[in-house]
């Protein structure tokens, strides 16, 4: 139990560090126009996704898939305690989401889509294929736009981003051992693990990603959209809507969108990839 408390403190500190880094990062939005123009011009000649094109994905070196799914079940239980889940819009999210999942580079995992009742526009994913979007996001997005968010979140699951974050924590071994010992949702092991994981959810430890991870999820997301039967242009118009809201009423943007890379950069990167897909 002491280890779990240490884990929580570690998660809090890491989260504070991450928030500070992200806060610095978001100030790019207000850079002067000439600097932005230079960056944009440079980007046109530069493949924003070069480092991801030959990536391969597996659980090697991370929690195995069985334990990842167990972890996801435990984390989801904590999410249900912290957020109001609803059936409103769930059919639509599941229908579109399953198409994105099947077209992804991890099609054999069982994905579970969930809707959170909230006026914040937000979406996130957890290990084991749990993906969440808010009712406010559902209202804002048409089907192609919603699919772009779901496909992006599936991308985080494909690339095992949360598992990689977990692996870097020094209490990883304790959690891995607990998951190995875990046979059901009842009992002391589940209870202690639940407390630690609940605090991780609260601190955003597993749902806040680096900018490179966001770029990778965008890449995996937009690549899967045509195969899933969606217009990848929906990702561009989604970012445009988010960018507009960020300017008008940024309080409506959940931390996950406000912490994501600059909307304009994401629009340019997405357009680059759509043009590239059309050439092939
Ligand atoms: Zn993301």
Distance 204 CA to ligand 1 centre (A): 13
d(CA 92, CA 94): 5
Distance 268 CA to ligand 1 centre (A): 17
- What is the average pLDDT across 244-265? 79
- pLDDT digit string, tens, across residues 59-82: 999 999 999 999 999 999 999 999
d(CA 271, CA 11): 36
Question: Regarding beta strands 85-86 and 112-116, do their DSSP bridges make them parallel or antiparallel, or are they unpaired?
Answer: antiparallel
Q: Is the pLDDT assigned to residue 134 strictly greater than 90?
A: yes
- What is the average pLDDT across 96-105? 98
Is residue 125 helix, strand or coil? strand
- Lowest mean pLDDT segment, chosen from 141-145, 224-228, 275-279: 275-279
| Predicted pLDDT of residue 25 | 34
User: pTM of the prediction?
Assistant: 0.82
- pLDDT digit string, tens, across residues 23-69: 333 333 333 344 444 555 454 568 999 999 999 999 999 999 999 99
Distance 275 CA to ligand 1 centre (A): 22
Distance 2 CA to ligand 1 centre (A): 32
In the 8-state DSSP scheme, what is residue 109?
S
């Amino acid at each position: 139990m002491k280890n779990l408390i240490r884990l929580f403190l570690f998660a809090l500190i890491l989260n504070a560090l991450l928030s500070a880094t992200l806060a610095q990062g978001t100030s790019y939005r207000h850079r002067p126009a000439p600097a932005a123009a230079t960056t944009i011009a440079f980007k046109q000649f530069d493949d924003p996704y070069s480092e991801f094109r030959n990536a391969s994905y597996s659980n090697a070196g991370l929690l195995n898939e069985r334990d990842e799914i167990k972890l996801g079940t435990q984390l989801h239980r904590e999410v249900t305690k912290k957020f109001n889940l609803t059936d409103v819009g769930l059919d639509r999210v599941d229908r579109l989401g399953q198409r994105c999942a099947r077209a992804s580079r991890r099609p054999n995992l069982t994905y579970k889509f969930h809707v959170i009742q909230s006026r914040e526009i937000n979406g996130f994913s957890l290990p084991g294929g749990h993906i969440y979007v808010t009712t406010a996001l559902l209202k804002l997005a048409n089907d192609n736009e919603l699919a772009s968010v779901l496909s992006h979140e599936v991308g985080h699951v494909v690339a095992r981003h949360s598992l990689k974050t977990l692996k870097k924590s020094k209490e990883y071994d304790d959690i891995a051992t607990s998951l190995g010992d875990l046979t059901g949702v009842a009992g002391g092991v589940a209870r202690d693990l639940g407390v630690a994981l609940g605090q991780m959810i609260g601190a955003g430890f597993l749902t806040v990603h680096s900018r490179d991870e966001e770029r990778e999820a965008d890449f995996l997301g937009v690549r899967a959209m045509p195969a899933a039967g969606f217009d990848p242009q929906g990702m561009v118009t989604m970012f445009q809507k988010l960018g507009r809201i960020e300017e008008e009423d940024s309080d409506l943007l959940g931390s996950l969108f406000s912490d994501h890379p600059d909307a304009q950069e994401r629009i340019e990167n997405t357009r680059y990839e759509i043009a590239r897909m059309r050439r092939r």
